[in-house]
Structure 1
Amino acid sequence: MSRPLPILSTPAAAPPEAAPLTRYSPIPWGLVIVLSLLFVVVWLLPPLGGLKQSDTIFPLTLHTVMESFSFVVSVLVFAVSWHAYSRERAGNLMILACGFLAVALLDFGHTLSYRGMPDFVTPSSPQKAIIFWLAARYVAALTLLTIALRPWQPLARPRDRYRLMLWALLVTAAVFVSELYLPDFWPTMFVPGVGLTGLKIAAEYGLIAILGATAVILYPKTQGKPAFDAANLFTAVLITILSELCFTLYSNVNDVFQLLGHTYKVIAYFWIYKAVFVSSVRDPYLRLSLEMAERQAAEARIQFLAYHDPLTELPNRILVRERFERAAERARVQSSRVGLVYIDLDNFKTVNDSLGHTLGDLLLQGIGQRLQSLVPAGSTVSRQGGDEFLILLEDVERPREVESLVNRIVEQMQQPFAIQDHDLSTSVSIGVSLFPDDGGDFDTLLKKADTAMYRAKGAGRNGYRFFDREMDKDVGERLRLSNDLRLALARNEFVLHYQPQIDLRTQEVIGAEALIRWQHPELGLLAPGRFIGIAEDTGLIVPIGEWVIRMACHQAAAWQRAGLPPLVVAVNLSAVQFMRGDLVGTVASALATSALPSRCLELELTESILIQDAENILGTVQRLNAIGVQMSIDDFGTGYSSLSYLKRFAVDKLKVDQSFVRDLCSDPDDAAIVRAIIQLARSLGLKTIAEGVETAEILALLQELGCDEAQGYYFAKPLPADNFSAFLSQRLS
């Protein structure tokens, strides 16, 4: 057996998908380490001692440039956060915005108060500059601590952002007024010729403590999938701590620690702005981009599904129709053909019913993929729905090309599919129509390919047929018979013929098989092969079958009342009767109204009936056995021939199909099969009856093999009820 082919997970085609939102950047530990090492080097290395006392290394111009940068960045932090505000954004951004509005104004006061700058209301001095500096630093530190402590969620009320801005302006105004007009309110932070006071240094360490606590709170929020850009804020806090450490060490406002501290401050402000930009501008933009991409993907998906099957993602009928129109135009110009190959899976319902729809869907996907691998380039494989597929073949030069392809498809579709823990095998029935030979438009060709496919299915499945004109006649007749069949019961057009069944040991007539005929008002007497299939497809077999059982029982009872020996009348059953009708009720009613003993009714089941929904069928058969009717297996040997169902269903008789009986004397294989069936039945305590006995030689061989009963033209053709009575009377005389 060939190895099963696995189902591929890659779809036939897929619409574009939106990109996910970019994750926040990690903490730049390398930068923090480099800046920390630089601070340690400047602080501890003796060769740099001269820089620590220099009053020229950080001139006024450079200080003004750096502070101007800090002022601009602080204003940008406020402006970006304020104008990007929405009710869905976290209120922490508004706290940061308003806090840095105050920082910007205080830094501006610090810049104007620096030694060497023109007087700003009062003379510039280190004391004045330090007050503005510390006020700005504490506002910044407390702002960062607040947003680290507060959950990252929107403000309770949108107007709260105006209250935050008012508080920021009030704090700023209080510092400006007190320092410019009440300078003695502030303690001394710097003594000329001496340097920083202990209070100033303590204030700096207070800042470091606040910033350290902020870093400790922020760090856990940088892990996993943070709700905000905690990494950039954490980085800014660490660099600000280095900056404040520098401001605890300077001896004059122009030395290296002032330069290094202001440099770290500029870097820290950049990282704060980066965090604000990410949260207020980049993330909303990315979210908008994501929403737009998702909408575009949804629109693309809708467009895709308008022309493709959702399950297999193969083109649907709309798309294949459009491609056919283009292919047909080219074929007209090039004098070539276009082929439509209609494919239907055989017995796909069994997979769904036994293994579930999930495996059935996977099988359909696998079949679509395998078909795509088999067809030539430029062809289109389409799913029409259910278990039906359609292949559009373009630029066909000769029908032989199509025949070669469908042969390959029939062969390859029998190779097993490996789906989860199952190896599933299937077969296909295929119908083919060609443009322009069989029609000039898509609908006509599709209909004819469908007709050819049903002809292939009717011929035994697992094969193909090309459309021919005779099929059109058959379709027309089938439609006519289907319409007429609906009126046949009401018009009393059905009749039963009876074929005698003979006991091969005594040569007595022991039963009769009831066979339906249709006395069509225009077409004459029709054999069941002409209309039973139509009756099963339309469901009319249920009322027709009920009529047959009822009439057969009444006729058998009538013969007994007429003084003829009791006979067993055999009635064929359809699988549809088991599925849709009340078979047990029909049989019980027919026996009761006809007063026929139940042992005189035999119901013939085909092997295919017994494997469909076996548990329900078994229940029905058991209830029929309880009534007392006999059960036989019709056409035994042509189906599954399983010993398990013979044991479970407790049948009484096996009927040897006439296909084995007809050539019994000339075909050793048929003889071996018949011998095996008879021996099997005998070992199970069952009787055997052979149908299709037409010669004395066949009869003799059946007797030699031990067959119990027989029927066939050698004894009599199926006869109308009156003729059967005459035949039986003649046999008895």
Structure 2
Amino acid sequence: MNDVLMNFFDLGQYAQAPLPGNYNHWLVVLSYLVAFIASFTALKIFERAHRHRSVSQQKTWTLITAIVAGIGVWSMHFIGMIAFQLPVMVSHSVGLTLASIVPAVIGNYYAYSLHLSEDRLANFKKTRARVSLKTNILSGTILGAGIGLMHYMGMEAMQLTPKLLYSPVWFAASILIAVVLGIFAMSTYSRSSAIRGAKNELRKIQFVTALIIAAAISGMHYAAMLAARFYPTASTEILPIGSQHQHLWLIYAIVVAVTLIALISWVSSVIDKRFQHNYRAIKQSDKRIRELAFNDALTGLPNRRSLLDYLSQQQQETPENEHLVLFLLDIDKFKVLNNTLGPTLGDLLLQSVTHRLERVALNVHMVARPSSNEFAVVARVQKSNNPVQAQSHALSMAKTLQQELQAPYSLKDYRHQCSMSFGVTVVDSFKKSSEDILVQAALALAEAKRNGMGEIRLYHPEMADAIEKRVKLEAELRQAIETRDGLELYLQPQLDINRQVIGAEALIRWHHSERGMVSPAEFIPLAEETGLIIGLGDLINEQACQIIRQWQQLGLTDLVLSINVSAPQFQQMDFVDKLNSLLKQYEVPAGQLKLELTESVLMQNLDDVIHKIKELKQLGIQFALDDFGTGYSSLSYLMKLPFDVLKIDVSFVRDMFQSVQKEAIVQTIVQLAHNLGLKVVAEGVETEKHFDYLSSLGCDYFQGYLFSKPVAEPDFRKHSKHFK
């Protein structure tokens, strides 16, 4: 063991002084610069490893980092060796010289891999903590050991006649310098894991770390050279200083190594620029995709998905002394604005509502747009022993919001005022899912809209029961329409001034096998809301044609049957074709079928309505304007549309004796219709007084409970002779 030590360390076994040597200071400076450039390049390359999620790619970039750093250590060492001049011939073993690069590469690889592993773990845990002190010490020690091993292997590659021994003190100092500065370098670099993404700060850390690593390499090298003692032997030929020559291949190898570092640095820079460009493009794309996925494109507000995520999160964060409240609000008649003034003004209105909601002076936590003309507002109210107080507070907030939002809007040159319907739910349990909360608010909003415009409704459990019943009723109605089971037309007679039956209005009735007779007020609105009104309308049209054909067979050729047509049904592209097909199938003569249209049909697309009415009149169909007087534009419709009959709305007839003004309105309607060449039907005639007054005004036809309620077709024929 002692022999081994004496063969490596200078323990005083030589009496003579070691050979003197001196340095080329320019090459010393160059050696440090090469170490610094290689270290800085390696750190820039290592940044790529951090930005990849694939473990294989991370390992690849870490290996490239280690190779560049290892080449830098190797180049620095042999430039330093060339800078050191001894008065003897010096050469190097090719194999050992090239092999000495391996420990430098391995040391750098494992040092950087430790950093990467801990940084990856921090990202997995979603923390921004720095790399631990333990990792810094371990990685710095590995880095220093790799540098030291590379140096001493390179020294062993020297071929010269003097005996090479090392001072134990300077040997230990060289290793200590490499390890301590290695730990210092890794500790400095560990800060980058906490600020990654801040480009300027990251470059500063990389620059300082490269300076320290270069100092570790150079410090270790020149401390180790101080440890080196070259003792001449009997065969040593002393030469004048500066006359010795290095092998040309070593100089070439160093040039190639430095060139390789420069080349890798340039390639890495190009890759970095491209990566940064692609990274920014991907980030922008990701940001845009995320915005589209979680935000509404028009208003920028969170969409339904974001709202559900937020509600779920808020249930966990809402304090125990507070209730979470969701307001779901709807712009009443928004579709009318879009259809009449165009979608541009509709979009402006949505954006204006958004601005008001964002500036509202309430404790609002979130505003969202879950669907086209619906907005959601999330807030909190204080809990109390009495749940009614929290509900009252929520309703008070809803009224404040409603007042703010119902103030007039300036949409370009148009001043628009609209009403807002509100559904409100106070979350009283954190066990509810965000979907359930949104459904509750939607149920409350639906209830508000069913009760009219500008209404506010608070959710209560009975609403869920009602919707369950509604869904069941919808399914049963759908089946009834498909099977034609239980749906039957009832007829309410229409009489002339002599009380002679001139026809009837057909009204659909539903005989349910379990529910009995279902009120039209219950299933007609349901059909309109669900789109079943189209199938129901087709059924009504067919049954009406069947009744007229039956009348023909019975000789009742003068009776006219009126049927109501809904707006969705009339708007169908094939409405005229389908009705024409029925007329031919049941051989309906001209003049015996009358279609009653309400103003809601006419408001959609007036030109299309006029075109369809003219087509249908050519088929022998009559037209009546139903519920006249209840809309805003009836007079303009009368001027443009070729109606045959005008029907006075039941509300005018029933209440016409309550004031002189209402009597005058009825009188004006009758006179107006006659001046336009139209017949007049008065609905809701319930008393003889009604009949006598309307007769005195010259009303043409009468319909109401004074004569008959709606009855089945056989009863209509049976009792027609008793209507006088």
* TM-score for both structures, normalised by structure 2: 0.57
SS of the residue corresponding to residue 320 of structure 2 reads helix
Aligned twin of 2:463: 471
Aligned twin of 2:394: 402
Correspondence 1:447-462 to 2 at 5 A = 447-462=439-454
Report the Cα offset of residue 689 of structure 1. 1.5
Correspondence 1:100-119 to 2 at 5 A = none
Name the CA distance, whole Å, in 1 between partners of 2:480 and 2:573: 19
SS of the residue corresponding to residue 598 of structure 1 reads coil
Aligned twin of 2:487: 494
- 1:696 paired to 2:688: yes
Report the Cα offset of residue 286 of structure 1. 10
SS of the residue corresponding to residue 632 of structure 1 reads strand
Contact 2:408 2:416 in 1 (8 A): yes
Distance 1:705 1:472, change over 3 A: farther
Distance 1:515 1:437, change over 3 A: farther
Correspondence 1:427-438 to 2 at 5 A = 427-436=419-428
Aligned twin of 2:25: none
Correspondence 1:599-610 to 2 at 5 A = 599-610=591-602
Report the Cα offset of residue 665 of structure 1. 1.9
Correspondence 1:26-41 to 2 at 5 A = none
Correspondence 1:613-652 to 2 at 5 A = 613-652=605-644
Aligned twin of 1:517: 509
Cα distance per residue 1:57-102 (max 9 Å; x no partner): xxxxxxxxxxxxxxxxxxxxxx9xxx9xxxxxxxxxxxxxxxxxxx
SS of the residue corresponding to residue 571 of structure 2 reads helix
Match of 1:365 among 334, 351, 365: 351
Structure 2: which amino acid aligns with 1:675? Q
Report the Cα offset of residue 289 of structure 1. 7.5
Contact 1:410 1:463 in 2 (8 A): no
Name the CA distance, whole Å, in 2 between partners of 1:332 and 1:696: 68
Structure 2: which amino acid aligns with 1:360? G
Distance 1:698 1:330, change over 3 A: farther
Aligned twin of 1:374: 360
Structure 1: which amino acid aligns with 2:324? V
Report the Cα offset of residue 417 of structure 1. 3.0
Distance 1:678 1:406, change over 3 A: farther
Report the Cα offset of residue 560 of structure 1. 4.2
Structure 2: which amino acid aligns with 1:634? D
Contact 1:516 1:527 in 2 (8 A): no
Distance 1:439 1:484, change over 3 A: farther
Match of 1:321 among 287, 291, 308: 308
Match of 2:295 among 301, 308, 323: 308
Aligned twin of 1:107: none
Cα distance per residue 1:617-673 (max 9 Å; x no partner): 221111112222111111112222332211111112221222222222224454343
- Paired residues in the alignment total 459
Aligned twin of 1:341: 327
Aligned twin of 2:589: 597
Structure 1: which amino acid aligns with 2:542? R
Report the Cα offset of residue 699 of structure 1. 2.4
Contact 1:678 1:705 in 2 (8 A): yes
- 1:722 paired to 2:714: yes
Cα distance per residue 1:193-219 (max 9 Å; x no partner): xxxxxxxxxxxxxxxxxxxxxxxxxxx
Percent of matched pairs sharing the same residue? 37
Contact 1:656 1:690 in 2 (8 A): yes
* TM-score for both structures, normalised by structure 1: 0.57
Contact 1:375 1:405 in 2 (8 A): no
Structure 2: which amino acid aligns with 1:500? P
Name the CA distance, whole Å, in 2 between partners of 1:439 and 1:646: 58
SS of the residue corresponding to residue 313 of structure 1 reads coil
Name the CA distance, whole Å, in 2 between partners of 1:428 and 1:679: 39
Structure 1: which amino acid aligns with 2:375? F
Name the CA distance, whole Å, in 2 between partners of 1:313 and 1:551: 51
Distance 1:516 1:372, change over 3 A: same
Correspondence 1:666-681 to 2 at 5 A = 666-681=658-673
Name the CA distance, whole Å, in 2 between partners of 1:303 and 1:589: 52
Aligned twin of 1:384: 370
Cα distance per residue 1:400-431 (max 9 Å; x no partner): 33323333444444444333444444333222
Report the Cα offset of residue 721 of structure 1. 0.8
Report the Cα offset of residue 333 of structure 1. 1.1
SS of the residue corresponding to residue 554 of structure 1 reads helix
Contact 1:451 1:471 in 2 (8 A): yes
Distance 1:511 1:381, change over 3 A: same
Distance 1:472 1:295, change over 3 A: closer
Structure 2: which amino acid aligns with 1:384? P
SS of the residue corresponding to residue 604 of structure 2 reads coil
Structure 2: which amino acid aligns with 1:309? D
Aligned twin of 1:122: none
Report the Cα offset of residue 285 of structure 1. 10
SS of the residue corresponding to residue 473 of structure 1 reads helix
Distance 1:698 1:730, change over 3 A: closer
Cα distance per residue 1:338-379 (max 9 Å; x no partner): 221112223333444445444433332222112222361343
Aligned twin of 2:256: none
Cα distance per residue 1:30-82 (max 9 Å; x no partner): xxxxxxxxxxxxxxxxxxxxxxxxxxxxxxxxxxxxxxxxxxxxxxxxx9xxx
Contact 1:439 1:445 in 2 (8 A): no
Contact 1:665 1:671 in 2 (8 A): yes
Name the CA distance, whole Å, in 2 between partners of 1:707 and 1:438: 64
Contact 1:431 1:454 in 2 (8 A): yes
**Gaps in structure 2 of 5+ consecutive residues:** 1-36, 42-268, 384-389
Structure 1: which amino acid aligns with 2:445? M
Distance 1:659 1:393, change over 3 A: farther
Distance 1:295 1:544, change over 3 A: closer
Name the CA distance, whole Å, in 2 between partners of 1:448 and 1:438: 14
Cα distance per residue 1:248-286 (max 9 Å; x no partner): xxxxxxxxxxxxxxxxxxxxxxxxxxxxxxxxxx99999
Report the Cα offset of residue 292 of structure 1. 6.2
Aligned twin of 1:536: 528
Name the CA distance, whole Å, in 2 between partners of 1:679 and 1:411: 42
Aligned twin of 1:612: 604
Aligned twin of 2:157: none
- 1:552 paired to 2:538: no
Distance 1:558 1:619, change over 3 A: same
Name the CA distance, whole Å, in 1 between partners of 2:376 and 2:452: 20
Structure 1: which amino acid aligns with 2:493? P
Aligned twin of 1:126: none
Distance 1:554 1:439, change over 3 A: farther
Distance 1:305 1:569, change over 3 A: closer
Distance 1:673 1:475, change over 3 A: farther
Name the CA distance, whole Å, in 1 between partners of 2:664 and 2:365: 49
